[in-house]
Amino acid sequence: MMTMNRMAATNMSGAPSTNMPEMMPASMPNMVMVPRCTMKMEKCTGGMKITCMCDDPTACTMMQNLCTMMAGGMCSVACMMNGMMVCCCNLTMGACKVEMTKDGCCVTCTSGDKACCDMIQGCCDCMTACMKTGCTCCLMMGGTPVCCCMC
């Protein structure tokens, strides 16, 4: 059985969201199914590396397809606890490269600029700390969730 998480997509109209049921459309188009994975973040020369691994072959294939389709878009990681965003790191200060692995994908974000490298590695430290304390982390490319990790 494929393991997925439901993630709420952002409201593209810019209108504030409400919790009133009568305001929700019947088909709920703002929900998307995201593969659940194991995520590992580590510093590397010039930046950081994010490795996403799925045990389920179907979830792995879906994640790899999403990564292939969304590659080249802005890469970001959102960390949430109890449904509230704790941290969101937009990795705009470096070049992000996606490589497929046998059980998922590996995203490497690096920069030749020392200050940008320090920011990328600072994001790595922040997200690692969030994951250690139990946050749910979601890797996004171009604003689209690609995989989700519940640590």
* Mean per-residue pLDDT, 115-131: 94
* Mean per-residue pLDDT, 119-133: 94
Query: For the segment 130-148, what is each residue's pLDDT rounded down to a tens digit?
Result: 999 999 999 998 888 888 8
Q: What is the pLDDT of residue 88?
A: 93
Query: For the segment 41-72, what is each residue's pLDDT rounded down to a tens digit?
Result: 999 999 999 999 998 888 888 888 888 888 78
Q: What is the pLDDT of residue 146?
A: 87
Q: What is the pLDDT of residue 32?
A: 60
What is the CA angle 128-134-136, rounded to 5?
A: 80
Query: For the segment 80-104, what is each residue's pLDDT rounded down to a tens digit?
Result: 999 899 999 999 999 999 999 999 9
Higher pLDDT, 142 or 25: 142
Residue type present at position 150: M
Q: Which helix (H) or strand (E) holds 66?
A: helix 57-70
| 16-25, 72-81, 121-130: which is most confident | 121-130
Asked whether the predicted pLDDT for residue 6 surpasses 60, the reply is no
| Residue 119 to residues 46, 67, 78, Cα–Cα distance (Å) | 10, 24, 16
Of the candidates 128, 136, 144, the residue with the CA atom closest to the CA atom of residue 76: 144
Rounded-to-integer distance, Cα 83 and Cα 25, Å: 21
